Structure 1
Amino acid sequence: MRKPYSRSHANRGAVLERLIDMTNQQYRNKGIADIRKIPTPVQIQSNVRGKITGYITKGEWVDYSGVWNGKAVVFDVKETSSKTSFPLDNISEHQFQLLKSWREKGAWAFLLVSFTKHDEVYLLPVGLLERYWEDARNGGRKSIPHKDFMMDCELIQSEKGYVLHYLK
């Protein structure tokens, strides 16, 4: 039996992405950075007299990419409703590999992770993510504790007129 459609699950992350999009527009308007949302890939099944049907496909990219201070920037946006940790299975293997590869080539690669129960957003650099990722692969913990975000990651907030000022 199919589970009923969950509108709240489908829109999970939409508010956070809107805030990031607003911030990115502010960065563009001030000439600071040009960072854009990557559209969700769709596989078109048919186009009959302008009526298009299709389905969302698994993307090979991350949510955002662009340039800041002459440097490439790539990142993905994740949310968790857990109060205590961020599950690593929220990140797909291809997303992790793409972020890691771009970081190795000089880009600034990271995740913006929202803890919805705490109303907090953290910037998690890929270098730090990689430590947790490898530990989980070797049988360690499969999540990152919230307290580790508090100690090791930058809390992203509204400041200096920016909605979510993540470029500092």
Structure 2
Amino acid sequence: MRKLYNQSHANRGAGLEKLIDMTNTQYRNKGFADIRKIPTPVKIISNVKGKISGHVTKGELVDYFGVKDGRAIVFDAKETNITTSFPLKNVHEHQFNILKSWHQKGAKAFLLVSFTKRQYETYLLPFEMLEQAWKNYIGDGRKSIPYEDFVMQCDLVKSDKGYVLHFLKSV
């Protein structure tokens, strides 16, 4: 069967990000937390009579920053269509370094990882677990985190208490 659309590399994760954005709006409206998506950086090439052209520049940050109960929160959203593991190549080195830096300074740092072919099961992957896997990744060790590790060691994120995707439930 032929696909009716082609999802570009740039749009991967857009479904998860939409759910996160809706939840973040709910969090702000209820005074629970204030988390904002950082816009993708674009370098403007020209602006002719209001018609702007440009290109996406290399990111230097992660997708989301915010605060809950006086504590900084920083995270990125990732999707994978692999059912058995989450490939660490999906995390860019600059993203890992931002998460690490903020974690070392007391922020709550994590990834939200959605397994799209497992009915969009989404897990909160704490930075500590990512860091351990990353040490193996940059060496000669495993290049992914097994799905079973998410099930056994991470919080499954679901809709709860009126929030679309209550990922801060356990933060």
- Fold match, TM over 0.5? yes
SS in structure 2 of the partner of residue 40 of structure 1:
coil
- 1:1-168 matches, within 5 Å, as 7-9=6-8, 10-119=10-119, 120-168=121-169
SS at match of 2:118: coil
Alignment deviations for residues 11-34 of structure 1 (CA, whole Å, 9 cap, x no partner): 321111111011001100110100
Q: How many residue pairs get matched? A: 163
Distance in 2 between the 1:46 and 1:29 partners? Answer: 37
SS for the counterpart of 2:72 is strand
- What are the Cα deviations for residues 65-114 of structure 1, in whole angstroms up to 9, with x where unaligned? 01001000000000000010100000000000000000000000000000
Deviation string 1:25-69 (CA, Å, 9 cap, x unpaired) is 110011010001100000111111111110011110000001001
Hey, what's the Cα distance between the residues in 2 that align with 1:157 and 1:20?
Answer: 11
Deviant stretches of 4+, over 6 Å:
none
Which residue number in structure 2 is paired with residue 3 of structure 1?
Answer: none
Question: SS state of the match for residue 121, structure 1?
Answer: strand
Aligned equivalents of 1:21 and 1:88: distance in 2?
24
Runs of 5+ in structure 2 lacking a partner?
none
Quick one: which amino acid aligns to residue 81 of structure 1? N
Structure 1: stretches of 5+ with no match in the other structure? 1-5
How far apart, CA to CA, are the structure 2 residues paired with 1:7 and 1:105? 40
Give the alignment's TM-score, normalised by structure 1: 0.94
Which amino acid in 1 is paired with 2:7? S
Post-superposition Cα deviations, 1:119-151, rounded to whole Å, max 9, x if no partner, equal 200000111100000012221000000011001
CA root-mean-square deviation = 1.0
Give, in whole Å, the separation in 2 of the partners of 1:50 and 1:136.
46
% identical equivalent positions: 66
